[in-house]
């Protein structure tokens, strides 16, 4: 069984992002970039399935700038067998990425696609669902446990007030949640081995996909500064503040 894992290059989660002075977007100049954390979970799950003998090959795919090769190498250092980069300088929105992944799936014919549920830069939470719709495959989102048997995937997902278990027929799309696993650290020997693993580069035109943006960003701004808290002397004063100042009761 072949597993396809999309990975995205994003601003590292430890970095405090800054908005550009003209409000056109986020400033990523000289900023540390890394693999989207939810995608790391997807790579880890795919590698675990391979180690368990369920999968035979793990293919990492990334769409974006040439620098995304670093992200693919990181995925291969974790255990992915090879990488595919769909290289483009264009701004990629979720629908465009889903179309590119659909084209890659048509070429690679994977039995399972494991996506991160969302990227931490745009928080769109759309690509996995759009890919499933375009491919006509079943989907199971926000997975906290995945098991494969008899051509089906059993996926446990956390929902409001409990846990839901879905059974989907392969091929299928699964998106990862935080509790699915804890990604491993890539060891130095594996990082060195990843440099020799095959990495294929293609263009959107090679896949017959138009990646022109359908949406326009009008303005990006930082959230308003939160006001400092205020100490109150007793419960009576707290109730008075809530009623007459905050007006929430």
Which tens digits make up the pLDDT trace of 195-227?
999 999 999 999 999 998 888 888 888 888 888
Report the pLDDT value the prediction gives residue 49, as an integer from 0 to 100: 95
Q: What is the pTM of this model?
A: 0.85
Domain for residue 46, yes or no? Answer: yes
Query: At 167, is the secondary structure helix, strand, or coil?
Result: strand
- Residue stretches of the chain with pLDDT short of 70: none
Domain for residue 97, yes or no? Answer: yes
Q: What is the DSSP string of 141-156?
A: EEEEEEEEETTEEEEE
What does the block give as tokens for 227?
A: 């006001």
Domain for residue 141, yes or no? Answer: yes
Mean pLDDT over all residues of the chain? 92
Domain for residue 249, yes or no? Answer: no
Domain for residue 168, yes or no? Answer: yes
- CA distances in angstroms from 20 to 64, 113, 219, 222, 236, listed in the order given: 21, 35, 10, 10, 45
Task: Centre a 10 Å sphere on the Cβ of residue 70 and count the other Cβ atoms it contains.
Answer: 14
Find the CATH number of the domain harbouring 90.
3.40.50.620
Domain count, the chain: 1
Report the pLDDT value the prediction gives residue 9, as an integer from 0 to 100: 95
Quote the CA–CA distance of 30 and 166 in Å, as a whole number.
43
Range of the domain at 80: 2-244
Which tens digits make up the pLDDT trace of 128-142?
999 999 999 999 999
For the chain, where are the alpha helices, taking DSSP H only? 37-51, 68-78, 94-108, 127-135, 188-194, 235-244
């Amino acid at each position: 069984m072949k597993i396809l894992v999309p990975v995205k290059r994003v601003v590292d989660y430890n970095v405090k992002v800054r908005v550009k002075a003209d409000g056109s977007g986020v400033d990523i100049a000289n900023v540390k970039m890394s693999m989207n954390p939810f995608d790391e979970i997807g790579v880890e799950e795919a590698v675990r399935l391979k180690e368990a003998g369920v999968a035979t090959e793990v293919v990492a795919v990334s769409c974006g700038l040439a620098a995304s090769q670093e992200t693919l190498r990181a995925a291969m250092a974790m255990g992915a067998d090879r990488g595919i980069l769909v290289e483009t300088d264009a701004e990629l929105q979720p629908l465009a990425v889903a179309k590119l992944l659909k084209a890659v799936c048509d070429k690679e014919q994977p039995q399972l696609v494991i996506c991160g549920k969302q990227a931490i830069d745009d928080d769109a939470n759309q690509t996995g669902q759009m890919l499933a719709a375009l491919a006509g495959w079943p989907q199971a989102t926000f997975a906290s446990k995945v098991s494969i048997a008899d051509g089906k995937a059993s996926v446990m997902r956390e929902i409001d007030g409990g846990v839901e278990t879905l059974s989907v027929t392969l091929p299928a799309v699964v998106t990862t949640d935080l509790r699915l696993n804890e990604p491993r650290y890539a060891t130095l020997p594996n990082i060195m081995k990843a440099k020799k693993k095959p990495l294929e580069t293609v263009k959107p035109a090679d896949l017959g996909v138009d990646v022109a943006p359908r949406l326009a960003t009008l303005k990006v701004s930082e959230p308003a500064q939160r006001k400092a808290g205020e100490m109150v002397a007793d419960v009576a004063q707290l109730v008075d503040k809530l009623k007459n100042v905050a007006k929430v009761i």
